[in-house]
Chain A
Amino acid sequence: MSGAAALGIDAGSTTCKAVAVDEAGKIVGRRLEPASPRIDEQASRLLAELRTEVGGDPPVGATGYGRKRVAASRVLTEITCHARGAFALLGRPGLLIDMGGQDTKVIRLGKGGEVLDFSMNDKCAAGTGRFLEVILGRLHVPFDEVAGQVRRAGRAVSVSSTCTVFAESEVISLVARGEPLEGIVKGLHAALASRVAALARVPDGTELFMSGGVALNPAMVSALAEALGREVHVVPEPQLVGALGAALAVA
Chain B
Amino acid sequence: MLRRIQYELSGHLVGPALLRAKEWRRRRSRRGLAPKAGPFGPPLESARKLKELMSLHYLQGRFADGAVPVAWVTSGFPVELLRPLGFFTLYPENHAAMCGVARTVPELSDAVEKEGYSRDLCSYARTDLGCVATGKTPAGRLPKPDLLACCTNICQTVLYWYKALARRFGVPLVLIDTPFVYGEAKPHHVAYVREQLEELVSVAERVSGRRVDPQEFVAVIARAKEGSRLWGECLATARSRPAPWTGFDGFFHMAPIVALRGSEACNAYYRLLLDELRDRVARGTGGIREERHRLLWDNLPMWFAVRELSTLFAEQGFNFVCTSYTNAWAEAGVLVDPADPYGSIARAYTHIILNQDLTNRLGILRRLARDYACDGAVLHSDRSCKPYSIGQVDLKDRLGEELGIRVLLLEADHNDPRAWAAEPGENRIAAFMESFG
Contact = CB atoms under 8 A, between A and B. Distances in A.
A206 interface: no
Nearest to B421: A166
B418 A166 contact: no
Chain B, interface residues (CB within 8 Å), range: 10 to 19
A170 B113 CA distance: 26
A173 B423 contact: yes
A166 B110 contact: no
Interface residues of A, number: 11
Contacts of B31: 173, 177
Contacts of A173: 31, 423
B110 A198 contact: yes
A198 B423 contact: no
A162 B31 CA distance: 20
A90 interface: no
A161 interface: yes
Interface in B326-362: none
B113 A177 contact: no
B424 interface: yes
Contacts of A170: 423
B424 A169 contact: yes
B362 to A, nearest CB: 32
B4 interface: no
A166 B423 contact: yes
Nearest to A166: B421
A155 interface: no
Given A169-B423, A169-B424, A177 B114 contact: no
Contacts of A161: 421, 423
Contact of B421 (A163, A177, A201): A163
Nearest to B110: A198
Contacts of A198: 110, 113
B209 interface: no
Nearest to B113: A198
Nearest to A173: B423
Interface string B413-430: 000011001111000000
B32 interface: yes
A177 B32 contact: yes
Interface in A116-170: 160-163, 166, 169-170
Contacts of B422: 160
Contacts of B110: 198
Interface in A167-195: 169-170, 173, 177
Contacts of B417: 160
A193 to B, nearest CB: 14
A92 B32 CA distance: 52
B269 to A, nearest CB: 36
A166 B32 contact: no
With a 10 A CB-CB cut-off, give which of B110, B421, B422 has the most chain A CB atoms.
Answer: B421
Q: Which 5 A-B pairs have the closest CB atoms?
A: A166-B421, A162-B418, A201-B114, A169-B423, A170-B423
20 contacts: A160-B417, A160-B418, A160-B422, A161-B421, A161-B423, A162-B418, A163-B421, A166-B421, A166-B423, A166-B424, A169-B423, A169-B424, A170-B423, A173-B31, A173-B423, A177-B31, A177-B32, A198-B110, A198-B113, A201-B114
Given A166-B421, A169-B424, A177-B32, 13 more contacts: A160-B417, A160-B418, A160-B422, A161-B421, A161-B423, A166-B423, A166-B424, A169-B423, A170-B423, A177-B31, A198-B110, A198-B113, A201-B114
Interface of A: 160-163, 166, 169-170, 173, 177, 198, 201
